[in-house]
Amino acid sequence: MTRGGRDKTRDEPERRCIVTGETGPRQGLVRFVVGPEDTIFPDLANKLPGRGIYVSATRGALEKAVAKRMFSKGAKRQVRIPDGLVDLVEAGLLKRLQDAIAIARKAGRAIAGYEKVKIMLDRGEAQVLLQATDGSERGKGKLSTPEGGKWIGFLTADELGQAFGRDRVIHAAVASGTLARRIVEEAARLQGIRQVDGGTPAAKKDIGNA
């Protein structure tokens, strides 16, 4: 299993992190490009033109890349690093995750609410269980991670609610399929950026297996 939550295949392109020197699939990295005025810009969708500069999707790696000005080495020229780059990446990854959940919801593949989630789990249709970090531990403990699936528990109720067009959501689930895999990949990158020194998740919970 890779950093991005996917099983590695031979067909996946591998890239090298400018901080750790390790190679891996793009799903576990954050791509940057040099934009106007030689400014570093995060390319979270891996679609922008230009030579990509890759950093492992962890807060420590990004902070070191900024502090040591390693982007200039990766770009092979002096570049400008915008203020708050790590926070910018975190906000962008959060939006991508919320957008992916919203797409799954509109496609009828993601639902919210304790009873609906319980039914999906009981039927064996869910691949991902999402639970808000600030929800009741007693209530969350009544639902189990899908067999062979994933549990995502580091989003707040407000953050999860935004993906469903609500004020707050505590319990949600995503049916198996391509959208579920995309959500797991996006969540893995965001969780890595939310890690504080020592490996402790900044939002208490992380992504777990069944």
| Global confidence as pTM | 0.87
Buried residues in 119-150 as b, exposed as e (16+ CB within 10 A): ebbeeeebbbbbbbbebeeeebeebebbeebb
3-state secondary structure the chain: CCCCCCCCCCCCCEEEECCCCCEEEHHHEEEEEECHHHEEEECCCCCCCCCCEEEECCHHHHHHHHHCCHHHHHHCCCCECCCCHHHHHHHHHHHHHHHHHHHHHHCCCEEECHHHHHHHHHCCCEEEEEECCCCCHHHHCCCCCCCCCEEECCCCHHHHHHHCCCCCCCEEEEECCHHHHHHHHHHHHHHHHCECCCCCECCCCCEEEC
* 46 φψ region: left (φ > 0), alpha (ψ -120 to 50), beta (else): left
Q: Are 172 and 111 in contact (CB under 8 A)?
A: yes
Please state, in angstroms and rounded to a whole number, the distance separating the CA atoms of residues 182 and 87: 22
The pLDDT value given to residue 1 = 33
Q: What is the pLDDT along the chain (210 residues), one digit of tens a residue?
A: 333 444 444 466 799 999 999 999 988 999 999 999 999 999 999 999 999 999 999 999 999 999 999 999 999 999 999 999 999 999 999 999 999 999 999 999 999 999 999 999 999 999 999 999 999 999 999 999 999 999 999 999 999 999 999 999 999 999 999 999 999 999 999 999 997 544 444 433 456 653
Please state, in angstroms and rounded to a whole number, the distance separating the CA atoms of residues 102 and 95: 10
Domains of the chain from N-terminus onward: 14-82 (3.30.1230.10), 89-209 (3.30.1330.30)
Cβ count within 10 A of residue 183: 27
